[in-house]
Amino acid sequence: MNPFQFETAPRIVCQPGAIAQLGTFARNLGISHVLLVTDAGLQQAGLTQAAVASLAAASVAVSIFSEVQADPPEACILQAVAVGQSAAVDGVIGFGGGSSLDTAKLVALLLRTPQLLQDIYGAGLARGPRLPLIQVPTTAGTGSEVTWVSVVTTPGHEKKTVVSSLLLPDLALLDSQLTVGLPPAVTAMTGIDAMVHAIEALTTVLKRNPISDVLALKALQILYSNLPAAVGDGHDLVAREQMLFGSLLAGMAFGNSSVGAVHALAYPLGGHFHIPHGLSNSLLLPHVLRFNLESAQTIYAEMGRAILPGLLATDDGHAAAAFVQAISQRVARMPYAQTLRQAGIPRSELPLLAREAMKVQRLLDHNPRPIGYEDALAIYQAAF
């Protein structure tokens, strides 16, 4: 067993309708004026109204930053910080998908302890303290509400991470009603993203630990079994709640054990071509699974038996192969692009993607099978 430490959010609330209590939670954290960090789509759709109403009822003043962009660039984060400084807020709420939550983490940190983003990329370099922070996910995918990582896109189109326990929120509030009606494609992308988190948390070779193993395996079972219903009926509250819970567990797992080659190869797709993160992971997942099969057979077999009860009496080789096939088939049934070509990536750019993926060694180091440039190129070609 690898030596390990495990950290997550100190408080988690998972309850339909919990958004009505947001103001009370904020007040209990000593917040009197909060910056609500979200994106324009959620703001225009009115999904922030319940949050704002709850805060107003608790006499918490609200300033809103609704300009979060996917794969948030440095400039977006600094713009949000400037809004918070101008309003003199004393707390931050992240409301939305992973990009909003990642932005909120850094905004809460930089508002309380100013520092250059370029100086804190990496692990353990951020200085604290931060402002009180509440995270409210509206998609079931990133698990960012319970991770101590924030992903930022640099001006050079690289994805950099700030890794620090300072980024863990004071409260993660999960309300499945906020995810009802999410479009099928978004539900599918984020759901597959969460499954990737669970799978890679179980296969990392450097930081895998017993707590993450338990959480990731349970997350995979929940996500695999509930994703079809959630995609098929956006108003299935039971499936929605299960997906949100599964995403939470997967976030707790990979936040403490890391991810691997799927994420490493997905990052250039987002950084250079602005492919949504969940879709990027999905496009590469089946091909990375096949690449890793020979090195991860035992754990793939364990995951196969967890999601396919008919494999309980089979040998590891058969169970592992069945697992890869089952996950690949689940991805193939999702309502979005299934190849890099369909996603608009030119074949001529595959060498660029492979070169850029080699820069994400911090994740490739965790992969169960070593990956070099030629391996990465072959995986992109298979995904094309």
Q: How confident is the model at residue 312 (pLDDT cuts 50, 70, 90)?
A: confident
Whether residues 107 and 147 fall in one domain: yes
Residue numbers of the domain that contains 174: 12-179
3-class secondary structure, 150: strand
Is residue 94 within 8 Å of residue 100, measured between CB atoms?
A: yes
Can you give the pLDDT at residue 158?
Answer: 85
* Strand partners for 327: none
Whether residues 241 and 374 fall in one domain: yes
Whether residues 35 and 82 fall in one domain: yes
Q: How confident is the model at residue 313 (pLDDT cuts 50, 70, 90)?
A: confident
Whether residues 297 and 190 fall in one domain: yes
Whether residues 283 and 296 fall in one domain: yes
Asked which of 137, 152, 179 is the last residue of a domain, the reply is 179
Is residue 144 within 8 Å of residue 193, measured between CB atoms?
A: no
d(CA 205, CA 267): 20
Taking residues 202-227, report their average pLDDT: 96
Asked if residue 157 has pLDDT above 90, the reply is: no
Whether residues 150 and 189 fall in one domain: no
Whether residues 128 and 196 fall in one domain: no
Q: What is the pTM of this model?
A: 0.95
Whether residues 174 and 203 fall in one domain: no
d(CA 254, CA 10): 17
Averaging pLDDT over each range in 154-163, 247-256, 309-318, which range is the top one? Answer: 247-256
Whether residues 234 and 316 fall in one domain: yes
Taking residues 245-249, report their average pLDDT: 97
Asked which of 152, 179, 206 is the last residue of a domain, the reply is 179
Residue 3 lies in a domain: no
The CATH number of the domain holding residue 61 is 3.40.50.1970
Whether residues 214 and 132 fall in one domain: no
Residue 202 lies in a domain: yes
Asked which of 151, 179, 207 is the last residue of a domain, the reply is 179
Can you give the pLDDT at residue 3?
Answer: 83
Identify the DSSP state of 12.
E
Cα Rg of the chain (Å, integer): 20
Whether residues 314 and 256 fall in one domain: yes
Whether residues 155 and 208 fall in one domain: no
Residue 7 lies in a domain: no
Measuring CA to CA, which residue among 38, 277, 67 is closest to residue 136? 38
The CATH number of the domain holding residue 349 is 1.20.1090.10
Total number of domains constituting the chain: 2
Measuring CA to CA, which residue among 21, 318, 335, 320 is closest to residue 189? 335
